[in-house]
Amino acid sequence: MDVLIVGSIALDDVKTPAGEVTNALGGSAVYASLAAGYFAPAGIVGVIGEDFPEAHIRLLREHRIQLEGLEQMPGNTFHWSGCYEHDMGTAQTLKTQLNVFAGFSPKIPPSFQETPFVFLANIDPELQSRVLTQVHKPRFVLLDTMNHWIDQQRDKLIEAMAAVDMVVINQEEARQLAGAANLIQAARWLRRQGARGIIIKKGEHGALVFWEDQIGIIPAFPLAAVKDPTGAGDTFAGGFIGALARRGEINFETIRTAAVMGTIMASFTVEDFSVQCLSRLRKETIELRYDELHKMARLNTKPVSL
């Protein structure tokens, strides 16, 4: 196994202008592992309840996601309900029921402890730090977070950030955590906390990649229609770390390429509800979309003489 993903597994109720679903498969570990699995063998550590449908487990197994770290506990699975307005920019949370996720304490199986690439998805930063004590010298660790942890666990989050290679965060969270409106300044502050690199997600406007002293601009794939943005950020992170693990080398070029693959994978997720599109992809479809984005983003004109 090349990629270990630790995060939430959920059942979601989602309503958007394009429709709605109930009890749909969701959670950061699910989106990230499905995306990563197209590039490299992946496994998850997470918790589910007694109500978790067997069909969802079969789906993960069909995608060769290793489930030794999947724990089932008495009670119900983490359940999130939300809706999106017409701009699809931000989800309005209607209800959050943590259920068994409230007592989640990641236990990394022995067979997972030597995994070289680790994604610490959006969970309590104390738990993220606890995971790092259970893995043996991973080559690359990616950490995600959210505004809740910035508000409630700021010091613990900064402590966790100091122990990883890269942090992925959206632009609003970057500004909030760094206390800077300018994203370049925010990224510099975030890097000073210890991580070698930062990815700042900008939604439909792509992402900024900061690795050591270099900066990359990653465009988003333009879509004519978006059905459900839920899980797009987790898909981006999963596609990123899966593609990076596939390449093997860690440098600015491979990180930038992996970020492009992350934005490609996220573009599929938002085209349907839950993991309906993400789970049906073919290698040829992913490669075609990458080629299309490459053609659109390529600068093939000569600079204007001054």
pLDDT at 34: 98
Rg (CA), the chain: 18
The H or E element containing residue 61 is helix 54-62
pLDDT at 177: 96
**Amino acid identity at 174:** A
132 to 143, 164, 169, 178, 191: CA distances (angstroms) = 11, 9, 19, 24, 19
* 44: nearest Cα among 29, 58, 31: 29
Q: Please, what sign has the CA dihedral across residues 233, 234, 235, 238?
A: positive
Which pLDDT value is given to residue 301? 59
Give the per-residue pLDDT at 302: 64
Strand 78-84 and strand 91-97: the pairing is antiparallel
Per-residue pLDDT of the chain (306 residues; tens, 9 = 90+): 999 999 999 999 999 999 999 999 999 999 999 999 999 999 999 999 999 999 999 999 999 999 999 999 999 999 999 999 887 777 899 999 999 999 999 999 999 999 999 999 999 999 999 999 999 999 999 999 999 999 999 999 999 999 999 999 999 999 999 999 999 999 999 999 999 999 999 988 999 999 998 999 999 999 998 999 999 999 999 999 999 999 999 999 999 999 999 999 999 999 999 999 999 999 999 999 999 998 988 855 566 667
Report how far residue 245's alpha carbon sits from residue 117's, in angstroms, rounded to the nearest whole number: 7
List the domains of the chain with CATH numbers. 3-83+91-297 (3.40.1190.20)
Helix (H) / strand (E) containing 66: strand 66-72
Asked if 162 contacts 128 with a C-beta cutoff of 8 angstroms, the reply is no
**What strands lie across the sheet with 19-26, from one edge to the other?**
19-26, 10-16, 78-84, 91-97
pTM: 0.96
